[in-house]
Amino acid sequence: VVSSVGDLEKSSFLTFENLLNVHFISNEDPFPFQNMYATPHTLGIDRIVLAAGATLQFPNQNRLVIDAGTCVTYDFIDEKNNYLGGAIAPGLRLRYEALHNFTAKLPLLVLENPKNFIGTSTSDSIHSGVVNGLVYEIDGFIEEYKSRYLNFIIILTGGDTDFLAKRLKNTIFANSNFLLESLNQTFQYKIKND
């Protein structure tokens, strides 16, 4: 099973076709939810696979999937299995890079725990702003969804899962491998529903 939001050379995978079956997940596959996105053809396959995994693994409840990687995506699937949409924001690394690339003098830093809430140096201030800013953003999104929906599960996944999970106020299901697990579940769903 192959899925990618980047530029993927399908031909490199097709060389394996004489050894095994290769399936590329696409928007044409069956999914266990109704896609209510206004522009369904623009919805990234990663977000679709995460929504499918959340729908299959956590049935009959409202689900918010937060994928914290290069970007932070928020994807909401209601208890009736309608994918309603979400949000896209810069991830931790992009925030550090943006501060460096779009200002005259701010240094490019690598991810680090803020020493204090109030930064007492430029580096400390950047770490506080980047890390605390994203944590407050995520908690803010969660609180807004909780104010609108009951029977709610929050799934945190992506490369920055472990770093962020212990900093969030809300109770979450943290699984950095949720996308890979969802890819497998999505493929199994396709096999059963083709």
Per-residue pLDDT tens digits of the chain, which is 194 residues long? 666 555 556 566 566 666 666 667 788 888 999 999 999 999 999 999 999 999 999 999 999 999 999 999 999 999 999 999 999 999 999 999 999 999 999 999 999 999 999 999 999 999 999 999 999 999 999 999 999 998 889 999 999 999 999 999 887 889 989 988 998 888 888 888 87
Give me the catalytic one of 7, 29, 46, 194.
46
What is the reported pLDDT for 16? 64
Structure-token match 């579940």, residue found? 185
DSSP 139-165: HHHHHHHHHH-SSEEEEEESTTHHHHH
67 is catalytic: no
Q: Where are the beta strands (DSSP E) in the chain?
A: 34-35, 62-68, 71-77, 82-90, 152-157, 173-174
Domain ranges of the chain: 31-193
pTM here? 0.89
What is the reported pLDDT for 189? 83
Architecture of domain 31-193: 2-Layer Sandwich (3.30)
Structure-token match 């506080």, residue found? 128
SS3 category, 171: coil
